[in-house]
Amino acid sequence: MATDFEPSSHAAVSESATNPTVNPDTNGLQSPDTQLERNMESRHLTMISLGGVIGTGLFLSSGYTIHQAGPLGAILAYLIGSVLVYCVMLSLGELSVAMPYAGSFHLYARRFIGPGTAFTIAILYWLNWAVALASEFTAAGLLMQRWFPHSPAWVWSALFIAVVFTLNILSVRLYGESEFWFASIKVVAIIAFIAIGLLAIFGIIPIRGYTHAPLFSNYYCSGWFPNGIMPVFSTLLTVVFAFSGTEVVGVAAGETKNPDRAIPKAVHTTVLRLAIFFIGSIAVMAALIPWKQSGVDASPFVLVFQSIGMPFAGDVMNFVVLTAVLSAANSGLYVCSRMVWSLAKEHMIPSILAKTNFHGVPVFAVLVSLAGGLLALLSSVVAASTVYLALVAISGLATLVVWMSVAICHILFRRELKRSGRSVDSLAYHAPGYPAVPIIAIIMCLFALVLVVADPAQRSTLLYMIPFVALCYGVYYLRERLKHNRRHDEGTPVTV
């Protein structure tokens, strides 16, 4: 247990749940020039979480999942992934309602695990989204070349960088509103795909290659698990990473109106919709596209739409994927900036990065985060096989680390609650199924890490990640030691 936090009293916990200006470190008021504003509503929160998850992985790479694990195996993998996400989100929902801090993950880790762990988690999560920013901006430029084949991709990338920066720098409500509409386009496309696909499956509308209703013969024509059961588990890693982004709800909690109502609603609706969208889409793809023909050469969405004769299917999906990319970039810059802001508020990095403008936007944090994304983008061009490869490897497991820390913090939060003499009923929201929920989440995260070790293609990520994590701990404690020595030399009382 960290020593720089006193155990929460009833007043401290309840006040932080209702007062947006409570600082978790001091239980006091924040400086007015470093406050964020609570301008996001429940609909923003839900769509931000959906927008952070539904991306190119579903629209472009989902066919690869079916090809590897088979139709039933792919559905099974997504079902298992949905259980993990639901457990993590329930734990995060309880923590976020009780302590709605912006950049919540590392603040919970600081309070319940330790400051070194908090610093490391924040850096890993920031790096994860900074690298994602680089790939999203690159993808956006390449997607535009479908319509403008003779234009340089970097021009479009620069344009989209400016758009995403503008959406993040003006106000949090503008960011939330833009993300709501970006995500809405993706949601409409998925619903239309599932609805049209079901009509084709049952023979209500014709589909090329079939003279009768396809029904579900593709599921069993080559056996229930054509490649065996093991690919289901190796595919599970892909599924876990596909669901990363749901935890953005926790990051946005500190800027949400009425978090005690908005967060639980967002948690339950987000996971339910994700399960329906992902599993529903995979089920339709598997029924209409033979598993051997599924892959990454073409989007399975495009294949299905073209098979039913939909005009301009490629262009329509290119537009949808473009909005998915911009949505992910929009969320990525937001998350990155709030991590920087939160670290600066806790004096783990220069405090100037916590400064906000008159709209409550942490301008310097946004600029630093954008710079990080651009540097990652530059490394993908000039050092793709060295620096960029290392960055991707290091950030690859950040989601699992964050999810596991959330579950651990949930358990430690309940223990502290019990020691303080408070009952669970005093919480504005408490996760059902405790303690099974966080325990299941921890076990499943550990199992995913075992899969990483067992998979030769993924194992190399640990060779980069382990030294980087050790470096983060070393940097934090070295900095704390230097601060301690400086205060001692100046005769300043040292607080523990």
Of 28-37, 87-96, 363-372, which gets the smallest average pLDDT? 28-37
Q: What is the reported pLDDT for 102?
A: 64
CATH 3.40.50.1820 for domain 31-443: no
Question: Largest Cα–Cα distance in the chain?
Answer: 86
Q: Which residue has the higher pLDDT, 43 or 461?
A: 461
pLDDT reading at 205 higher than 60: yes
Q: How far apart are CA 489 and CA 485, in angstroms?
A: 6
356 has a pLDDT exceeding 90: no
Mean pLDDT of 38-56: 66
Write down the pLDDT at residue 95. Answer: 92
Q: What are 318's two structure tokens?
A: 């290119």
pLDDT, greater one: 309 or 86: 86
What pLDDT, on the 0 to 100 scale, is given for residue 59? 74
CA atoms within 13 A on the CB side of 417: 19
- Which tokens belong to 42? 């429940």
Could you tell me which residue, 230 or 151, shows the higher pLDDT?
A: 151
Q: What is the pLDDT of residue 496?
A: 44
Q: How far is residue 139's CA from residue 206's CA, in Å, rounded to a whole number?
A: 33
Q: Predicted confidence band at 255 (pLDDT cuts at 50, 70, 90)?
A: low
Spatial distance between the Cα atoms of 197 and 186, rounded to a whole number of angstroms: 16
Residue 6: per-residue pLDDT: 37
d(CA 305, CA 382): 38
36-50, 108-122, 331-345, 415-429 — which is least confidently predicted? 36-50
**Which pLDDT score, from 0 to 100, does residue 493 have?**
58
Q: Which residue has the tokens 């801090």?
A: 101
Point out the least confidently predicted range of 165-169, 230-234, 342-346, 373-377: 230-234
Most trustworthy range by pLDDT among 168-177, 205-214, 311-320, 451-460: 311-320
- pLDDT of residue 2 exceeding 60, the answer is no
Contact 88, 407 (CB under 8 A): yes
Query: Which pLDDT score is estimated for 483?
Result: 82
Which residues have C-beta within 8 Å of that of residue 33, sequence separation ≥ 6? 355, 356
| Interval 386-410 mean pLDDT | 86
> Helices 153-170 and 363-382 sit at what angle, rounded to 10 degrees?
160
Phi, psi (5° rounding) for residue 400? -60, -40
- Give whole-number Cα distances, 377 to 96, 322, 384, 436, 480, in Å: 32, 18, 9, 41, 32
Q: Between residues 209 and 85, which one has the greater pLDDT? A: 85
Mean pLDDT of 75-92: 90
Distances (CA, A) of 1 to 38, 115, 343, 416: 30, 10, 20, 10
Arithmetic mean of pLDDT, 201-219 = 80
pLDDT at 373 over 50: yes
**Per-residue burial over 101-115, b = 16 or more CB atoms within 10 Å of its CB, e = otherwise:** bbbbbbbbbbbbbbb
- Give yes or no for residue 414 having a pLDDT over 90: yes
Does 351 score more than 50 pLDDT? yes
For residue 84, the model assigns a pLDDT of 92
Sign (positive or negative) of CA dihedral 64, 67, 70, 71: positive
Query: Which residue reads 């054509």 in tokens?
Result: 226
Instruction: Tell me the percentage of the chain whose pLDDT exceeds 90.
Output: 17
Residue 413 binned pLDDT confidence (cut-offs 50, 70, 90): very high
Choose among 96, 8, 27: nearest CA to 430.
96
Confidence of residue 121 (pLDDT cuts 50, 70, 90): very high
Choice between 10 and 166, residue whose per-residue pLDDT is larger: 166
Tell me, what's the pLDDT at 88? 92
**Averaged over 67-91, what is the pLDDT?**
88
Per-residue pLDDT band for 7 (boundaries 50, 70, 90) equals very low
- Residue 32 parent element (H or E): none
> How distant, in Å, are the alpha carbons of 244, 269, 276, 325 from that of 272?
15, 5, 6, 22
What are the domain boundaries of the chain? Answer: 31-443
Cis omega (within 30 of 0) on the bond before 435? yes
Say whether pLDDT at 69 is over 50. Answer: yes
Read out DSSP for 358-412? Answer: TTS--HHHHHHHHHHHHHHHHHHHHSTTTHHHHHHHHHHTHHHHHHHHHHHHHHH
Q: Is the pLDDT of residue 296 over 60?
A: no
Is a pLDDT exceeding 60 seen at residue 474?
yes
* Average pLDDT of the residues in 286-305: 75
Counting residues of the chain whose pLDDT is more than 70, the rounded percentage is 85
pLDDT at 364: 92
> Taking residues 214-227, what's their average pLDDT?
79
Write the burial class of residue 239 (CB in 10 Å: 0-12 exposed, 13-18 middle, 19+ buried).
buried
The overall average pLDDT reported for the chain is: 80
> What's the pLDDT at 25?
41
Out of 280-289, 436-445, 465-474, least confident range: 280-289
Of 110-114, 298-302, 487-491, least confident by mean pLDDT is 487-491
174, pLDDT greater than 50:
yes
Q: 40: which strand partners?
A: 256
> Residue 91 corresponds to which amino acid?
S
Mean pLDDT of 126-134: 88
d(CA 24, CA 345): 10
